[in-house]
Amino acid sequence: MDQANYRVQKAWKALHFVVRVHTKGNRSTKNLAHTSLVRPVLEYRAACWDPCREGQINALDRVQKEAAQFNNYTKESDWETLAERRAITRLCALLKRALGNGLGKR
């Protein structure tokens, strides 16, 4: 099993846990639960294994969309997409690497 599929399975388990525990919670509680329990699983080391296959990307996005629907009661959400968050993570990792090599010093 590759890293992306492992992350998808683990994220589904975390999301189902959040849904079971917070069925009657308010929006901010659900958002906090998603931010602390589900999203870290989806994003763990994403800059290293950033999925290149369309099926992997769609599987990760399905978990995110399901969490957004549970949180917002609609299919639309104001959350950043996982692709946007992975791009930001890659840029931050690149910047840290460049600064660590002394390229940022003048």
| pTM for this model (two decimals) | 0.71
**Confidence class for position 103, pLDDT limits 50, 70, 90:** low
Q: Do 22 and 37 form a contact (C-beta atoms < 8 A)?
A: no
Residue 60 located in a structural domain: yes
Residue 105 located in a structural domain: no
Q: Is the pLDDT of residue 101 over 60?
A: yes
- CA angle, residues 57, 60, 66, in degrees to nearest 5: 135
Residue 11 located in a structural domain: yes
How many of the other CB atoms lie within 10 Å of CB of 39? Answer: 21
- Domain containing residue 51: 3-100
Least confident of 7-11, 19-23, 78-82: 78-82
Q: What is the pLDDT of residues 25-71, one digit of tens each?
A: 788 888 888 889 998 888 887 767 676 678 888 888 888 888 888 88
Residue 92 located in a structural domain: yes
Residue 106 located in a structural domain: no
* Token pair recorded at residue 79: 């959350």
How many domains is the chain partitioned into structurally?
A: 1
Residue 16 located in a structural domain: yes
